[in-house]
Chains A and B, each alone.
Chain A
Amino acid sequence: MREGIVFNIEELTVHDGDGVRVTVFMKGCPMRCSWCHNPEGLKAQPELLYKRARCVGCGECQKKCDHEDCKPFGRCLHVCPYDCLTVAGERYTSERLASKLNKYKRIFDACGGGVTFSGGEPLMQWEFIAEVIDRLDGINIAIETSGYAPMHIFKSAVDKLDHIYMDIKLFDAEAHKRHTGCDNAMIKENFLYLRLSGKPFTIRTPLISGITDTEENLSAIKEFIGDAHWEKLPENKLAGAKYDMLI
């Protein structure tokens, strides 16, 4: 059975698909977008998050302990009286994650909704997600992806999912590389497959001031995607706080 690493499971998320959604944030991303609003999703390995606002500086976490799970972090995770420390990145077997998600079925059945895989870049852990989906009990599944994945993985995902939210951030290859660290040729190819797949999908462009929101970029994207369903998302200003939480 495969294992995956998840940095958050958030309930009642917005912008993540139809109805009441549960979004599973998969840890690890090949891109390094300068505006990333989920910095704790970048690295593939678990990281320590620290809620500064709650901390009273009691120093309990600095005392030596012999818990196995504290070792990588150099702090004790099991003493903070105010719960300031959490590890972003929990290992799940596909069975455990599926059984957790299947518990939401009662709610999804009541009014519609489903699970959305996001990240990080969920396609980095596609084989794991595919195994999870096979164990789900008829739940609507969406994904939010950068589209940056080898074609065979992308195809397999599109075929298995109910709705695909895919980013096209920058059309110009050079600019894409500069601002995300990755080439966009694979993304463009994947889009061409997606468009012909017959699956419901939405293309998204985060509007980043002076980077993606230029007239030139938006019209190039428009020309490329044609009449595909396209959402332009306003910049997420909340990212700053999360950077602060990474130790």
Chain B
Amino acid sequence: MKNYNKLKEYILTKQHRALRRRVEDDLPALYSAEGLSAEERMTRRFEYLCAHETPVVLPDERIAFLRTLCDIPHIYTEEEFAALKSEKRLHELGFHSNVTPDYEKLLRHGLLYFCDCTDGYGARSIDALISLCDRYVTEAKRVGNDEVATTLERVSRYGATSFLEALQLFRVIHFALWLEGNYHVTVGRFDKYMYPYFKSDLDSGKLTLDEAAMLVEEFFLSFNRDSDLYPGVQQGDNGQSLVLGGKDENGCEIFNELSRLCLEASGRLMVIDPKINLRVSKDTPLEVYMLGTELTKKGLGFPQYTNDDVAIPALIELGYEPADAANYGMAACWELIVPGVGMDTANIDALSFAKIVDRALHEDLLSCETMEDFNSAIRAQINKEIELICRGTDGLWFIPSPFLRICMDENADGSYKYNNFGIHGTGACTAADSLAAIEKYIFDERSLTKEELIAAVDSDFCGSPELLHKLRYETAKVGQNDDYADKYLCMLLSFFADSLEGRRNCLDGIYRAGTGSAMFYLRHVEDLGASPDGRRRGESLGANFSVSLFAKTGGPLSVISSLTKPELHRTINGGPVTLEFASGIWSAEDSIEKFSKFIKSYIAMGGHQIQLNSVDLETLKRAQEHPEDYERLVVRIWGWSAYFTALDKCYQDHVMQRQIYSM
């Protein structure tokens, strides 16, 4: 009899990490000496890693595969890679990321099916992976885990015939994609492609609901086996996002019994992976929101909600086919991406709205007679910056991934259906608040001269405590449901969307505007002074689509009222409203219902995406002092949840600041 709790304890206490070893061979040097092509190097490395992985089958597991090689050597020597970077436009690490494989076809067919329809590299990769599976079978038999041996014996070759087989095959493919060197490999619409296996096993009596729940939990645990080895900006930023619910191509909600099991399993497991994204609409029953809110209450920082009513029509408007639009999932964080056919680079760059205002303040304000003049200057600055950003994406090239290619749906000519680029937009509320302040004090009240404002901003408000107070705390802000500031948020986002409209990228795709920040809420202030809204030098921007950190909002209702005013369907690349609540709110018994209705109202009002953080400031402070006691304390960062104590201090501090100001 298998003891799942023992397995869980084993993984969560990281005992499995003792089985890891380093790769001994200098692969880049070998490949360089032979002068191999990128594709050959990727294939050779994958073959090498598959051959050198040590199969580990744990006695209590039902779903196997554990990384034992802790480092993946590069395919290029340092010199080669430096040369490549100067020659081509690479994105981040240069390897493919933020993709969702077509799990539906992979689970149905197994890997052998694809040998015929792929090139030599793909076929070699399949061979390498099947050999590894076979070695796992041998090991499973050796240790007496017959269930794993039986499951793995056929599933990698021929596809899944049961829920357990489907979960195991997913695990093999997910493992392989990371091993190949891809990163931010996402999970996609899990309750859609897994549901037929789940339902068939339940209907036939092969599986009870309780057994299925247990399997889902073990499966979720598997995302936490190797995740510390995955590359990301911080631990936790690994893109293992899973999508639940939402409409199908006929407009029917797919949220099902499996979706519910997933939410419940995540709440029991209380770990950061997989990150759950819930697709909802104004038609989604309150009960679904309540299941999601139960997770928020537990402090996991997810689900992140996306509104089908906004996302689907907007994707169609951007040129996605209706069936693809209806099938959208999430890239690493919350960027919309279509499983199988979406090779979009959804996070290629970011526009800093705060920087735009700063430039216009210094370059244009003195020559502006009216606020309208200044608004035109803002538009021109955005257009100029976007032109540079877009030009910077020219020549984009990814190191080819033969195994990933099998997992996606190529066109006949080897190209992909969607090759769009997404651009984040950071600090929109800081910028909008700054414009509101400029309108009020320079052009409306005329209580401040342009020169005085510029000088105050340049001096970081030193010596102007009253002006600073007025700008920070006594001026209209986004988040107060006051059109005086909100109209600028609308304006900035529409200028952003306008600036990208009609542009084609180097892969003949389009550009998508978004309200996400990723890590730019910190990076974009590194070379920026103070802002006219009273933000002092060095103070961070809000995470994603959030109000300014120090804005005195009217409360969460005013915040969502402000943030649903812009034409959000024009900026759908991704970027949720990110709200902070003190964990004390959950002590009231009607809090789950209140917060569910709150989220549902936001969706009904035309909001695009939203995520809620529920933390206790005092706990965070204690965790900074005694990290050893708070190893499993979870917080939401920008598009992923993390263990608080594993974060760099700047990210910890930002979470705490958001919390301090929300009190």
Contact = CB atoms under 8 A, between A and B. Distances in A.
Interface in A12-35: 12, 14-15, 19-22
B583 interface: no
A80 B474 CA distance: 12
Given A11-B554, A11-B555, A11-B558, A107 B601 contact: yes
B433 to A, nearest CB: 15
Nearest to A17: B590
Interface in B468-509: 468-470, 472-474, 481
Nearest to B581: A12
A202 B605 CA distance: 31
Contacts of A78: 466, 469-470, 474
Interface in B183-227: none
Contact of A14 (B474, B560, B588): B588
Interface size class of A (residues with CB under 8 A): 20 to 34
B465 A20 contact: no
A76 B595 CA distance: 38
A157 to B, nearest CB: 24
B318 interface: no
A104 B557 contact: yes
Interface in A51-94: 54, 60, 78-81, 83
Contacts of A83: 469, 472-473, 550, 552
A206 to B, nearest CB: 14
Most A CB within 10 A of own CB, among B469, B552, B556: B469
Interface in B521-565: 550, 552, 554-558, 560-561
B662 interface: no
A127 to B, nearest CB: 26
Interface size class of B (residues with CB under 8 A): 20 to 34
Contact of A19 (B465, B468, B585, B597): B597
Contacts of A10: 555
B462 to A, nearest CB: 11
A107 B561 contact: yes
Given A15-B588, A81-B465, A83-B473, A107 B550 contact: no
A111 B601 CA distance: 5
Nearest to A22: B557
A81 B591 CA distance: 34
Contacts of B590: 14-15
B384 interface: no
A111 B584 CA distance: 24
B597 A20 contact: yes
B537 to A, nearest CB: 13
Given A78-B469, A78-B470, A83-B472, A12 B605 contact: no
A106 interface: yes
A79 B468 CA distance: 8
Nearest to A54: B660
Given A20-B601, A60-B465, A83-B472, A12 B481 contact: no
A5 to B, nearest CB: 18
A111 B465 contact: no
Contacts of A110: 600-601, 604-605
A20 B598 contact: yes
B284 to A, nearest CB: 12
Contacts of A22: 555, 557
B594 interface: yes
A9 interface: yes
A113 to B, nearest CB: 7
B469 A107 contact: no
B47 to A, nearest CB: 55
Interface of B: 465-466, 468-470, 472-474, 481, 550, 552, 554-558, 560-561, 584-585, 588, 590-591, 594-595, 597-598, 600-601, 604-605, 660
7 contacts: A9-B554, A12-B555, A19-B594, A20-B598, A78-B466, A81-B465, A103-B481
Given A19-B597, A111-B598, 8 more contacts: A9-B554, A12-B595, A12-B598, A79-B465, A83-B552, A103-B561, A110-B601, A111-B601
